[in-house]
Amino acid sequence: MNFDPSHSKRSFSSVGTRPIRPDGVDKVTGRARYGADFNMPGQLVGRILRSPHAHAIIRKIDTSKAAQLPGVKAVLTAADLPDLTNGDAAMYDILDNCMARKKALYDGHAVAAVAAIDARTAKQALKLIEVEYELLPHVTDVDQAFAPDAPLINDTIFTTGVDPKPDRPSNVSMRSQFGHGDVDAGMARADFVVERTFKTEQTHQGYIEPHACVANVCSDGTADLWVCTQGHFVYRQHCAELLGMDASKLRVTSSEIGGGFGGKTHVWAEPVALALSRKAGRPVKLVMTRDEVFRASGPTSATSIDVKIGALKDGTIIAADATLRYSCGPYAGAWAEVGAMTAFACYKLENVRTVGYEVLVNRPKTAAYRAPSAPMAAFAVESAIDELAKKVGMDPVDFRIRNAAQEGTKASYGPVYGPIGIGPTLEAVKNHPHMKAPLGKNQGRGMACGFWFNFGGQTCTDLNIGIDGTVSLAVGTVDVGGSRASLSLVAAEELGIDYSQVRTVIADTSTLGYNDMTDGSRGTFSSSMATISAARNAIKILRERAAQMWDIPVEDVTWEKGHAVAKGETHGNLPKLSLKEIAAASGTTGGPIAGHSEIVADGAGVSFATHICDIEVDPETGATKVLRYTVVQDAGKAVHPTYVEGQYQGGAAQGIGWALNEEYIYGKDGRLQNAGFLDYRIPVCSDLPMIDTQILEIPNPNHPYGVRGVGETSIVPPLAAVANAVSNAVGVRMLHIPMSPPRILAALEA
């Protein structure tokens, strides 16, 4: 579906307004039901036993005592689950991560589970399970795991992407490479070169709602799963495949979701809950504790990145090179690959090369976290770019403007860009009052750019018009932050009716066709595309019905502002028919009126942002305070601007936390030492200033209204923007994130 250029001049009537969201009242009154807010009659409580060891062979699990405890209805180990050893490797890994089969691969890895009549009994039962471990050497640091003599985590992993195939297994599951031109020749021509190695620590998405589900498997093989997820269709597919069920027999209903940010795109406890329910013959509710969320759901990668960039005297970047090592947990991943794709995506480069290495470590399996892999790469590249600008003697914004990618630029990861927003966001930042505000003592300002692809994917919507003329829109992309409001606006816009006449719901997996999950910033992008096409299909029927009511050819009926209008001289004086009137007559004109749409939403527009950060650093203690923060980002077209701002602010806040505070801390014993919100400190209200936002609208040519995904890009620049601000405040280049007070002091003393 192409962008209708007339829309750039078109005045939208619903799209771009800021109504209250349809699920709002339930959420401010405590009525909205999240993962843990659902119960079934006769339900049992499920609990999971987790390995305290980072790396150990599971010699034996004795569950007999637990099974005999009164009130215990099912005990489960990997032996009760299908053995996928000879099946699809990715599926094997997913199931092995849900329940360890041969080895415990990280502190927190599930090894057994129980279902009991109450939480107390379940907890007691876990204590009665005896697991015999044989400890193995472990490795949790990405650089140590990368070293040739590191303890081997999986002896079936041979690095792919290298020629010839290695003859020894290693902790590197894949090498990937992107780029074009001749980097070495370019670098040789450079007048100035910056070469640095950066490190970022592992962080967690930190959604406030722990994973929760209620599973109910019937003896006839049908099953229901209530779960907080970003993608209930994908969960259905995975759970069915892992447990050997027909997908159609498993109905998955997505609860309201209390945050996901990528972390609820992977199954963790759900297959276990289903298997427990199947074994016990009763519904099972399984809710993770916060400790489990940190230890055993998916944090993002820790990274170590080498960057080398060269520039000519006139400020042209002549060559750019990066090697990126990303931890992926104890299973093969593809995270460095994404980092390698995004690293230099903001720039127009003649000679560019990026190499990514996926590194296995004894930590939880890495999961997506908002623009996964991009923030770390941007931290390294944008820090080096800032330093290079100084060497060249240019203002950092001007230096970036000079080298910014444009329409027609061949991106470092391959494709040629259409109209893009990197230049405009930089110009907006250059002219922003924030850039001109004075700074005080110990204060520094930093800015940085960020890129994210965005994703389209399989999407399906049903738009049903009631006989009273109001509209029910059923979509299959989970609403993570207000998309029901946005999609109601889009349906209202297309049909020409009022927002209040549309109600959007998230359909379960049995009532709508397959949808990919809400990730890749695709929720509003792809479902709005499907909604527009569903509405257009409905309008086609509405026109036919009006033609029938008037007894004129359908070609003579147009649709304008919610009405069928008869055109042409002969029909000119027929009074127009409203959607409501046509709907009321549907019983006599051919039955219910609906529009459906099943699409692959191709053409998600790439998105760019530039952020500005002011920070104050206390040189005595290394403590930091963010004083002012500004986000400028291209939205293509902001459907509900308030929620777009919310995405910008939320991503910036997460990025600030990552830059300054958040990290997984492992002891020498390979155990996670800060699996709680007290010690894994995410930003609180008093840590942050107001976050100013500026929405730019450079239409995405592949969407009828010009919409781009907006959810993720906002977390890409902050790590670098904050690091540049700190570096400017203290006069020392910061190379290691998070910049916690001890690390800042160490950098000052170095």
Partner 1 sequence: MMVGIAVSTNINGDNAEFLCHADETLLDVLRDRLGLMGAKEGCGTGDCGACSIILDDRLVCSCLVLGAEAEGRRIETVEGMAQGDQLHPLQQKFLEHAALQCGICTPGFLIAAKDLLAKNPDPTEEEIRFGLAGNLCRCTGYDKIVRAVQDAAGVMRGA
Q: Can you tell me the distance from the alpha carbon of 38 to that of 258, in angstroms, rounded to the nearest whole number? A: 14
In the complex with partner 1, which residue's Cβ is closer, 205 or 528? Answer: 205
Report how far residue 661's alpha carbon sits from residue 729's, in angstroms, rounded to the nearest whole number: 18
Query: What are 614's two structure tokens?
Result: 């002011």
650 in contact with partner 1 (CB under 8 A): yes
Q: Decide if residue 652 touches partner 1 (CB under 8 A).
A: yes
Distance set, CA 525 to CA 417, 695, 707 (Å) = 18, 16, 6
Three-class SS state of 697: coil
Closest CB to partner 1 among 198 and 207?
207
Task: Write down the least CB distance from residue 372 to ligand FES, Å.
Answer: 19
What the block records as the tokens of 141 is 């640091």
Contact in structure between 439 and 426 (CB atoms under 8 Å): no
Chain position whose Cβ is nearest to ligand FES: 208
Which residues face 645 on adjacent strands?
none
Taking CB under 6 A as the criterion, which residues in 625-684 touch ligand FES?
none
- For partner 1, which is the closer residue by CB, 261 or 705? 261
* Per-position x/- string for 220-259, each x denoting binding to partner 1 as judged by CB under 8 A, each - no binding: ------------------------------------xxxx
**Least CB distance to ligand FES at residue 335 (A):** 25
The answer to whether the beta carbons of residues 162 and 84 sit under 8 Å apart is: no
Q: What is the DSSP string of 351-419?
A: SEEEEEEEE--SSPPP---SSTTHHHHHHHHHHHHHHHHHHHT--HHHHHHHHB--TTPBPTTSPBP-S
User: Is 450 in contact with 343 (CB distance < 8 Å)?
Assistant: no
Nearer Cβ to ligand FES (258/717):
258
Residue of 420, 480, 542, 613 interacting with partner 1 (CB under 8 A): 480
- Among ligand FES, partner 1, none, what does residue 24 contact (CB within 5–8 Å per kind)? partner 1
Q: How far is the CB of 530 from partner 1 (least distance, A)?
A: 22
Rounded to 10 deg, the angle between the 396-403 and 374-392 helix axes is 110
Residue count, binding to partner 1 (CB under 8 A): 56
The Cα 518–Cα 229 span in angstroms is: 9
Report the phi/psi class of residue 368: left, alpha or beta, with left for phi > 0 and alpha for psi in -120 to 50.
beta
Apex CA 562: angle with CA 561 and CA 567, to 5°?
70
The residue (of 158 and 677) whose beta carbon lies closer to ligand FES is 677
Q: How far is the CB of 717 from partner 1 (least distance, A)?
A: 14
Question: What character string, x for contact with partner 1 (CB under 8 A) and - otherwise, covers 706-735?
Answer: ------------------------------
Report in angstroms how near the CB of residue 29 gets to partner 1 at its nearest: 6
Binding residues for ligand FES, how many (CB under 6 A)?
2
Near partner 1 in 187-216, by CB under 8 A: 205-210
- Touching partner 1, residues 527-566 (CB under 8 A): none
Other residues' Cβ atoms within 10 Å of the Cβ of residue 514: 15
Among 249, 290, 536, 625, binds partner 1 (CB under 8 A): 290
Which range binds partner 1 by CB under 8 A, 412-420, 458-466, 479-487, 528-536?
479-487
- The pair of structure tokens assigned to 403 is 């080298």
Task: Give 6 or 686: the residue with its C-beta nearer to ligand FES.
Answer: 686
Q: Which does 480 bind (CB under 5 to 8 A by kind): partner 1, ligand FES, none?
A: partner 1
Q: Write down the H helix ranges in 446-585.
A: 483-495, 523-550, 579-584
List Cβ neighbours of 25 (8 Å cut-off, separation of 6 or more). Answer: 31
Asked if 378 and 719 count as a contact pair (C-beta separation under 8 A), the reply is yes
Among 717, 584, 592, residue whose Cα is nearest residue 656 = 717
Q: Which of 259, 418, 496, 741 forms a contact with ligand FES (CB under 6 A)?
A: 259
**Least distance in angstroms from the C-beta of 462 to partner 1:** 25
Q: Which x/- pattern, by CB under 8 A, does the window 268-287 give for partner 1?
A: -------------------x
With the C-alpha atoms ordered 512, 516, 517, 522, is the resulting torsion angle positive or negative? negative
Among 2, 4, 8, 33, binds partner 1 (CB under 8 A): 33
> Which residue's structure tokens are 């929760």?
212
| Contact characters 49-88, partner 1, x per CB under 8 A | ----------------------------------------
Task: Write down the least CB distance from residue 37 to partner 1, Å.
Answer: 4
1, 12, 17, 23: residue in contact with partner 1 (rule CB under 8 A): 23
Cα separation values, 32 from 22, 237, 258, 292, 710, Å:
12, 26, 10, 24, 25
One residue of 149, 551, 686, 750 binding partner 1 per CB under 8 A: 686
Say how far apart CA 23 and CA 28 lie, in whole Å: 9
What does each C-alpha distance from 215 to 231, 250, 447, 477, 588 come to in angstroms? Answer: 16, 10, 47, 21, 44
Shortest Å, Cβ 720 to partner 1: 18
Q: Does 10 bind partner 1 (CB under 8 A)?
A: no
Interface residue with ligand FES, options 162, 185, 208, 416 (CB under 6 A) = 208
- Minimum distance of ligand FES from residue 139's CB (angstroms): 33
Cα–Cα dist 357/303, whole Å: 10
Contact letters for partner 1, residues 423-462 (x by CB under 8 A)? ----------------------------------------
Q: How far is the CB of 34 from ligand FES (least distance, A)?
A: 10
Left, alpha or beta for 121 (phi > 0: left; psi -120 to 50: alpha)? alpha
Q: How far is the CB of 742 from partner 1 (least distance, A)?
A: 22
Task: CB nearer to partner 1: give 261 or 379.
Answer: 261
* Residue 688 binding: pick among ligand FES, partner 1, none (C-beta 5-8 Å cut-off by kind): partner 1
Within 8 A by CB and 6+ apart from 453, the residues are 341, 342, 520, 604, 606
Q: Which CB atom, from 219 or from 686, has the smaller least distance to partner 1?
A: 686
The 115-134 site mask, x for binding partner 1 (CB under 8 A), equals -----x--------------
Q: Coil, helix or strand for 550?
A: helix
- Of the pair 172, 485, the CB lying nearest partner 1 is at 485
Our finding on whether 188 is near ligand FES (CB under 6 A) is no
Query: What CA–CA distance (Å, rounded) separates 739 from 719?
Result: 10
Q: How far is the CB of 94 from partner 1 (least distance, A)?
A: 25
Q: How far is CA 453 from CA 357, 478, 483, in A?
A: 20, 20, 19
Nearer residue to ligand FES within complex by CB, 37 or 143: 37
Q: Is 296 in the site for partner 1 (CB under 8 A)?
A: no
β-pairing, 593-600 vs 458-465, is antiparallel
Q: How far is the CB of 23 from partner 1 (least distance, A)?
A: 8
- Where are any strands of DSSP class E within 571-639? 577-578, 593-600, 607-617, 624-634
> Which positions lie near ligand FES, rule CB under 6 A?
208, 259
> Which positions lie near partner 1, rule CB under 8 A?
18, 20-21, 23-25, 27-34, 36-37, 120, 205-210, 256-261, 287, 289-290, 480-482, 642-643, 645-647, 649-650, 652-654, 676-678, 682-686, 688, 690-691
